[in-house]
Structure 1
């Protein structure tokens, strides 16, 4: 924790009123409005809460359908299933691992209320196509921007394209307060309802402004607001967000330089960034030739004390996904990614020496896997 963050948290504690909605919450809201101009942010305890808040605002009902990629965290689908609605899983693009707009369009039915796009690894989805699709089909667009704070599409911030943008400030994210999130409401006609939902379904804001003598329960809502101590920590991190993202992008670029310079593309697939996308360096994910190569590479990392990992199991093939949701057709890209993806260690403090060591181990393991694959193919051909 930086000295600035420690000082802010100490001030919040000294103030005594630790419930949410105070001065540090408002400071975060101001910083978030600056990050996504024209948006109305609501601080939450997690991105999970932000997504659940969005489904409450639009009044998602049992039997409604929401299209989303299978390649995402469970929270994306939980927010839908908790309302009795059906997550409809579609495949992702081979290059970015983001939702495939063609597959998303094909999954829309008369029951579809919304589409959730997930900006995987802080790389923007094809927002031009998705915004047009949702406008033409009259469905809500929710950006799951959990990994994408500070990232852009055609120079505009992610989280500001859809009707809603949901961010995460979990400990695993670039900007973090341990546990935290925010929902950005990008439609003026939904702000008042969002305020009711955020205040546990009450018109507490009107009471605070002196417009009514007592507040009352007006709609479904829940407890989404983090404490002032959490908001104080987040505010300090938001002030450093640009520097954090810059450092991570530099580390991301150095991985790319090392791997491309080593000619690794023959046996590894490197991440792809569309020209329209300004990423935030959240994840540097490589893909191996096959699942065996992935497992052997992960074992090589473990044996050298390197914390490199794969990622989540797709929702469509998980127990809850099969129970609460359904897939639209086959999802071959998603199925392939789950057995071949590895995230390399990356944060704002990683050194070039550390990165060089990671790449050294990675290249040794991947070349060994490539030799085994060729030897196996030659053996098969002789047989």
Structure 2
């Protein structure tokens, strides 16, 4: 029995988080849209080429803002993968939408673009691709089908910071995009998220929705002489304390990313022989890049995965499985149209996520690798 436990995730502090939080507190402005929020906004707009971004309290909130901005109404249909987190559909379900689930691909858990066209009806309003593990969905065919049918595209880029599609940052391609800075992500603020606005017609209204339906942002810029209630909205903006933590992470993004990608690559190289046994490793298509968010393997059966997890836990290694197909969930099963989604089910039953975080040592990672290779050697 190993004495040291290898957790699935460990939040990483780059060094200045508490200093910046103290700075935010001492500035006397600790509610939303303070100096650290502005720094974070500038970083994404200047360094990564986003047209406009707004920090939110979570990725879930960013998705909820997207549903409000698209004016989703009861009975509208929204197409998305079944293999995703509940936040993706919930944002639209809260507005009364009906979710139409698409299957994943054989290559990876991303939504299969070839299936989208057949799912479109006169009630379809939006397509929500999820960039699973930070690996890009094939966005060109998704954008093309959306354009043909006059639909909106919202990228769920929760896991996709610093990842690219044909040279374009994920989250800059759809009309809107949502990011997560939850403590399990590459760049973190504990809880936290961001809405990216790539279609100028949504920019002004996004500020209003985020500020409880008021034009407070315009007022503070001097564009109106008083602010009032002008639209529906909620309180989606994070405290500047959260932004201060995030800023310390963004300053160190290159270092964090280099380390995570190196860990990812070591897993990939060491576990490559498993592919010959029919165990699936993550593939990065030639149109995509890898942001080192997650390393997974897809076992050959549910039973095999259960036994592998048990064996690893017996050696104080803590892998986790991931999403449960939402089309079979207690909440949505009877609302689903009954189509089988075999690849989504496959990832639900077979996918296992390995420990991957900045402070994972070479010795710890090699322990994980050795345990997996030993399991498959028998």
* TM-score bracket for the superposition, by shorter chain length: over 0.9
**In the TM superposition, what are the counterparts of 1:121-140 in structure 2 within 5 Å?**
121-140=133-152
Q: Secondary structure at the match of 1:271?
A: coil
**In the TM superposition, what are the counterparts of 1:23-42 in structure 2 within 5 Å?**
23-42=35-54
Q: Secondary structure at the match of 1:319?
A: coil
Paired residue for 1:173? 185
Paired residue for 1:282? 293
**In the TM superposition, what are the counterparts of 1:79-98 in structure 2 within 5 Å?**
79-98=91-110
Q: Which of 254, 261, 264 lines up with 1:252 in the alignment?
A: 264
Paired residue for 1:11? 23
Q: Which of 327, 351, 355 lines up with 1:316 in the alignment?
A: 327
Q: Secondary structure at the match of 2:352?
A: strand
Shift of 1:353: 1.9
Unaligned runs of 5+ in 2: 1-12
Q: Which of 295, 299, 313 lines up with 1:302 in the alignment?
A: 313
Query: In the alignment, is residue 336 of structure 1 matched against residue 346 of structure 2?
Result: yes
Q: Which of 355, 360, 364 lines up with 1:354 in the alignment?
A: 364
Given that 1:5 and 1:232 are in contact with CA atoms closer than 8 Å, whether structure 2 keeps it comes out as yes
Moved more, 112-121 or 192-201: 192-201
Moved more, 333-342 or 178-187: 333-342
Closer/same/farther in 2, CA of residues 54 and 36 from structure 1, 3 Å limit: farther
Given that 1:107 and 1:328 are in contact with CA atoms closer than 8 Å, whether structure 2 keeps it comes out as no
CA–CA separation in structure 2 for the residues paired with 1:263 and 1:315: 29
Q: Secondary structure at the match of 2:160?
A: coil
Given that 2:44 and 2:50 are in contact with CA atoms closer than 8 Å, whether structure 1 keeps it comes out as no
Deviations 1:283-310 (A, max 9, x none): 1110111111100000001100001111
Computing the radius of gyration over CA atoms, which structure comes out larger, 1 or 2? 1
Query: In the alignment, is residue 363 of structure 1 matched against residue 367 of structure 2?
Result: no
Q: Which of 180, 184, 187 lines up with 2:196 in the alignment?
A: 184
Closer/same/farther in 2, CA of residues 249 and 326 from structure 1, 3 Å limit: same
Q: Secondary structure at the match of 2:101?
A: strand
Paired residue for 1:381? none
CA–CA separation in structure 2 for the residues paired with 1:108 and 1:132: 13
Deviations 1:214-247 (A, max 9, x none): 2111111110000011010001111112221221
Closer/same/farther in 2, CA of residues 328 and 109 from structure 1, 3 Å limit: farther
TM-score (norm 1): 0.93
**In the TM superposition, what are the counterparts of 1:110-149 in structure 2 within 5 Å?**
110-149=122-161
CA–CA separation in structure 2 for the residues paired with 1:38 and 1:304: 44
Which 4+ stretches in 1 moved above 4 angstroms? none
Shift of 1:210: 2.5
Given that 1:88 and 1:328 are in contact with CA atoms closer than 8 Å, whether structure 2 keeps it comes out as no
Q: What RMSD, in angstroms, separates the aligned Cα atoms of the two structures?
A: 1.3
Shift of 1:2: 3.3
Q: Looking at secondary structure, tell me which structure has more helix per residue.
A: 1
TM-score (norm 2): 0.94
Given that 2:15 and 2:248 are in contact with CA atoms closer than 8 Å, whether structure 1 keeps it comes out as no
Query: In the alignment, is residue 233 of structure 1 matched against residue 254 of structure 2?
Result: no
